[in-house]
Amino acid sequence: MDRYAVIGNPIAHSKSPRIHAAFARQTGQTLEYSTLLAPLEGFVTAVENFRSAGGRGLNVTVPFKLEAFALASQRSPRAEAAGAVNTLTFRADGIHGDNTDGAGLVRDLTANLGCTLAGRRVLLLGAGGAARGALLPLLQAAPSSLTLANRSADKAVALAESFRPSANGTMLSAGGFPDLAGQQFDIVINATAASLSSEAPALPTGLYAPGALAYDMMYGKGDTAYLARARAEGVTHLADGLGMLVEQAAESFLLWRGVRPNTGPVLADLRRELSAA
């Protein structure tokens, strides 16, 4: 039986085994998917042991995405752009690395939420790994403008400059949170880690255009701090990152098995479980 796993530290909380098991049942694929706890200093050894035991591929979560990038002997363009790898595929010619996070985000926005990105004004909050992973797929969706904003403005500016060759007609700009004052956006995506500490980014008010979407890459029971702040400002179209989690998993499944699962039922089950927790 083909074996896959998600590797990280910690890892016991991961929903990936349930997601991929549901995908396998739905598509008639025979596989085994488990969690793999790697020592903080033992990522490469854990991957090599899994591969030598017949493993076919790994999803990679914190804190190993940069190490996975370094380990991969071939990398996809979106992995190169992200500077991080979350999906490893073991092939006869080596280890292939990809990054499905940004593709998962875009598919959640467009397929699940019915949100058109082409021609829209997009604001991406943050300049760390989550933002970097999202940038190329967002730019490929051809928004009219994409603004990067971060608490540290220089990090946002540097990140924007590194992606300028990929802008393809999208107006790409960057700065600090105070620089956003007086601007409005159709889609605002929180890629900062603020929600992990139950905080919202210190944003100016009035950023949301009529009918705008507020999106947080984090998820939990109820609103994140960022979504609660957006709701308090009158935003009615809100979404968390649970759909992104399921969609990036589906993208990995497609890479490994050559078939794209129907994510709707899986996402609905996870949403019901989260609401009942």
Q: Which residues are annotated as a binding site?
A: 14-16, 61, 86, 101, 126-130, 217, 219, 241, 248
Instruction: Give the full edge-to-edge strand order of the sheet including 94-98.
Output: 31-37, 2-8, 55-60, 87-91, 94-98, 74-75
Residue type, 130: A
The token pair that represents 212 in the structure block: 């705008």
Residues annotated in the binding site for NADP(+), as ranges? 126-130, 217, 241
Confirm if 179 and 154 have CB atoms less than 8 A apart.
no
Confirm if 73 and 94 have CB atoms less than 8 A apart.
yes
Give catalytic status of residue 221 as yes or no: no
Q: Are strands 94-98 and 87-91 parallel, antiparallel or unpaired?
A: antiparallel
DSSP 148-161: EEESSHHHHHHHHH
DSSP 28-56: T--EEEEEEE--TT-HHHHHHHHHHTTEE
Catalytic residue among 20, 65, 96, 107: 65
Run of H or E including 127: none
Distances 178 to 130, 172, 230 between C-alpha atoms, Å: 21, 17, 17
Confirm if 220 and 198 have CB atoms less than 8 A apart.
no
Residues annotated in the binding site for shikimate, as ranges? 14-16, 61, 86, 101, 219, 248
Catalytic sites, residue numbers: 65
